[in-house]
Chain A
Amino acid sequence: MQHILLVLPLLIPLYGAIACLFFWRKLGVQRVIGVVTQLSLCAASAYLLYKTDTTGILTTQIGNWQAPFGITLVSDIFSSLMVLSSAIVGIAVFVFSLRGLSNARQLFGYYPLLLLLQMGVNGVCLTGDLFNLFVWFEVLLICCFVLIALGGSKPQLEGSIKYVTINFLASSFLLTGIGMVYGILGSLNMAELAVLVRSAEANHGLITLASIFFLVAFGIKAAIFPLFFWLPASYHTPPIGISAFIAGLITKVGLYALVRLFTLVFVLNQDILLPIFLVLSGLTMVIGVLGAASQVDFRKILSFHIVSQIGYMLMGLAIFTPMAIAGSIYFVIHNILVKTCLFLISGVVYRTYGSFALKKLGGVYLQQPLLSLLFVIAAFSLAGIPPFSGFWGKFMLAKGGLEAGNYGLVATSLGVSLITIFSMTKIWNEVFWKKKPAPTEEAARVIAEANTAHIGVLRLLHLPVVVLIVCILFIGLYAEPLVNLALRASEQLLNTESYVNAVLHK
């Protein structure tokens, strides 16, 4: 039973994608396959999380090659939480793109690509092998490349060339780091690496050097401070049905890998690494939010906020106490939901008013009070106003930071929250509150289109936003289950014995 459960999050999207490819020009069939696949993926991930939580870490050896030699799939609470939240976000984005994405784009393989991308994300989260991690990252990246360029409009081409180049570099760094780790320790299985690193004859200097390669590679993928410039240059270019998924999830997957490796394998010389993380996380928060404050485009403000939020997630790793890492885990899950939701809201606004530019929008509050309410909830969650979900993540991080005596970083993080509120207020004032400016030609066309469109179309666009808001409200107002899960997950991460035993001594 265990074996099936761990492989299902990989097989379901793979088979779904293959089935879609058989019906290349038939959108209706692809959509049906998509619905079935997304729902069963979500159910499988939820059951995986339930199983992992009740019976402890699950493992399976692919092809029955025993642990240090074959490829191992491992699921602990953190990884199954990631898989579940990616499945939820996948459903939301899928429903949105039924009407939010042009048929031309959908016909060019949007559904199979989205499924393969989800497979890549699940693979990264579930693998227990370093080289396999690299392979899954490549699966994920090539899908991202194609999705960002899908349709081939000028802004997309501009964005994708930056995205492709820098991510190719990151992958090369990752591969170099993996080569170094294999050269030094002679293994690629993460559990065995965790044992080897802690043994007496480990060469601390060389291993720390190799870990810097991983820090740079995943730092680029997660958009940490000096390495984030590709993100605001590319995430706002594709249509919302694509960018919502990529923006919501992919940087967090990079961060997931960072947390996994730096709690399990690269734990030596923490007196050097943790101060680096501390400085990086503070700078990531501040620079990201300042970038957001200066922008005047709905999606670009949100893109810069991704960078800023990554800083919070790194903060837990920098403090390195159970409470802080639990805060990071909670924050990752919260951010995946909230960020996707905000991107989808910007997509709904665009589909009804024909623009992303703040100065061309206005008066949405009068016409769509429900959407405005949803935006307020999501924005307050992002900024961390109690009782919404962001508050609990920040609370745990701040508590962990204060207990560990990192007062400077805690103060920075709270200050950054204030600027987050400021830039969310900016969107609120410009898009929802201010008087509507005279529409431009392009906007007028879209507005006319939206008015003539079937009312069901607009309802369908609202549906995924509402679903995500319900999830956000749930983890905000009834935070206890997720907080407890995050605490247990961080215990598992810090107590590497359980991971090693589960993988190596079956």
Chain B
Amino acid sequence: MEILLPILVGILFASGLYLILHRHFFKLILGIIIFGLATNLFLFVIGRLTRGNTAIIDDDVTIASEPFADPVPQALLLTAIVIGFGIQAFAIVLIKRVYQAFGTNDLDDLDKTDKIHEELLSEGNTQKYDQQD
């Protein structure tokens, strides 16, 4: 059954990347979440899977007896999940804010600051926030 996990990781990576490449905001959010999940699962699988053997050392011995599950990837995974959760939460709020500010769902509409002869940046918007009292 272990062979299923790498395949699942591959599918998650592929679909995450595919969704990130979409222009739609909501699909971008989904893509970011799924890509993060794929990374976390990858981290878990590559730490080698050992079933039913925790790395708890008994009182009377000094080193754990083989086989035992490596606790390091799990610790890394927990950290990565928490960090990923924070970033995804920020990304979702940001994307919602962008949707409210621009009233569009399409990433292709967000090209105003990329134009060489731009008006949006040079005039208006940023200044309002930069005034002194």
Contacts and interface: CB of A to CB of B under 8 A. Distances in A.
A interacts with B: yes
Contact of B80 (A105, A161, A175, A239): A175
Given A157-B101, A168-B32, A175-B80, A102 B131 contact: yes
B11 interface: no
Contacts, number: 147
B86 A239 contact: no
B98 A157 contact: yes
A172 B39 contact: yes
A169 B20 contact: yes
A461 B39 CA distance: 45
Contacts of B20: 165, 169
B76 interface: yes
Contact of A356 (B46, B83, B110, B121): B121
Contact of A104 (B102, B118, B129): B129
How many of chain B's residues touch chain A, expressed as a range?
35 or more
Nearest to A99: B132
Given A102-B132, A156-B126, A182 B72 contact: yes
Contacts of B113: 155, 158-159, 233, 236-237
A294 B116 contact: yes
B132 A453 contact: yes
B114 A442 contact: no
Interface string B92-133: 001101100110000100101110111011111111111111
Contacts of A105: 129-130
A333 B35 CA distance: 35
Contacts of A104: 129
Contact of B116 (A138, A183, A295): A295
Nearest to B31: A165
B26 interface: no
A179 B106 CA distance: 34
Label chain B's interface by main secondary structure.
helix
A103 B79 CA distance: 35
B21 to A, nearest CB: 10
A142 B86 CA distance: 9
Interface in A123-160: 131, 134-135, 138, 141-142, 145-146, 149, 151-160
Contacts of A287: none
Nearest to B93: A149
A154 B101 contact: yes
A239 B43 contact: no
Interface in B3-48: 20, 28, 32, 35-36, 38-40, 42-43, 46-48
Residue in B46, B124, B133 whose Cβ sees the most chain A Cβ within 10 Å: B46
Contacts of B116: 294-297
A152 B97 contact: yes
Contacts of A440: 123
B126 A155 contact: yes
B79 A131 contact: yes
Interface in A171-189: 171-172, 175-176, 178-180, 182-183, 188
A354 interface: yes
What 10 pairs across the A-B complex have the smallest Cβ distances? A183-B46, A357-B122, A179-B43, A172-B39, A151-B129, A153-B125, A158-B110, A179-B46, A157-B98, A138-B83
19 contacts: A101-B130, A103-B132, A104-B129, A142-B86, A153-B125, A155-B126, A157-B97, A161-B110, A168-B32, A171-B87, A178-B76, A182-B73, A188-B72, A237-B113, A239-B126, A297-B116, A297-B121, A356-B122, A457-B132
Given A179-B39, A233-B113, 4 more contacts: A138-B83, A138-B87, A155-B121, A188-B72
Interface of A: 99, 101-105, 131, 134-135, 138, 141-142, 145-146, 149, 151-162, 164-165, 168-169, 171-172, 175-176, 178-180, 182-183, 188, 232-233, 236-237, 239, 294-297, 351, 354-357, 360, 440, 442, 446, 449, 453, 457
Interface of B: 20, 28, 32, 35-36, 38-40, 42-43, 46-48, 72-73, 76, 79-80, 83, 86-87, 90-91, 94-95, 97-98, 101-102, 107, 110, 112-114, 116-118, 120-133
